[in-house]
Structure 1
Amino acid sequence: MSFDIRHDPAARRFETVVDGQHCELDYRLDDRVMTITHTGVPGAVEGRGIASALTRAAMEAARSAGWTVVPACAYAASWLRRHPEFADLSA
């Protein structure tokens, strides 16, 4: 499933709206290190791969920008373990 994910660098957030529900991934950026602090998907739209798509978008953005990533959020840490193709981004 494909989602319209937007990156708001000023808010340090990746976000999408699915069936009227706002879903987000928040991060901090310090010295080219993206720390993923929160991934949120409302229960009404859980189980559709939204958090995974948000995390992938964040990882791809980090790679494009030359950043490393600290997955401080439990979901992002678990996602990174399941996607070794992004292991090179770990800070």
Structure 2
Amino acid sequence: MTIEVRNDEAQHQYTILDDGRPVGLAAYDISGGQIAFTHTEVDPREQGKGLAAILVKHALDDVAATTSLRVVPACSYVADYVRKHAEYEELTRR
């Protein structure tokens, strides 16, 4: 099992792949200096493996490292993740 996360800017989503096969996504919209994460999903056959957490962590780390955008956790999963991982709360106050 080789996990990779890619930012597909043309599709406005981060995609998580398992051995090259897409198994989940975190969709986003960028507008006015902010990135709103609007939807996160993982293939039901792949749930329970922690893939959503890996995906969201990677997406937030990428936003922090490569942009000055403020994160808007419009998706309930991303909002819960940020609440549970205080190190990402700063991204919501940029």
TM-score by length of 2: 0.86
The structure richer in strand per residue is: 2
Give 1:8's aligned residue: 8
Moved more, 15-24 or 54-63: 15-24
Pair 2,90 (structure 1): closer, same or farther in 2 beyond 3 Å: farther
Counterpart Cα distance in 2 of 1:63 and 1:31: 17
Do the aligned residues in 1 keep the contact of 2:71 with 2:92 (CA within 8 Å)?
yes
Instruction: Report deviation, 1:36.
Output: 0.3
What amino acid is aligned across from residue 7 of structure 1 in structure 2?
N
What is the alpha-carbon distance in structure 2 between the residues aligned to residue 37 and residue 75 of structure 1? 10
CA offsets, 1:44-67, max 9 Å, x none? Answer: 111111111111111112112111
Unaligned runs of 5+ in 1: none
Counterpart position of 2:31 = 30
| Matched residue, 1:84 | 86
The equivalences for 1:40-79 within 5 A come to 40-64=41-65, 65-79=67-81
Count of aligned pairs between the two proteins: 91
Looking at structure 2, the residues matched to 39 and 89 of structure 1 have their Cα atoms a distance apart, in angstroms, of 18
CA contact (8 A) 2:70 2:91 kept: yes
Q: Structure 2, unaligned stretches of length 5 or more? A: none
Listed one character per residue, the Cα deviations across residues 36-87 of structure 1 (whole Å, up to 9, x for unaligned) are 0000102111111111111111111211211110111111100000000011
Asked if structure 2 preserves the Cα contact closer than 8 Å seen for 1:32 and 1:67, the reply is yes
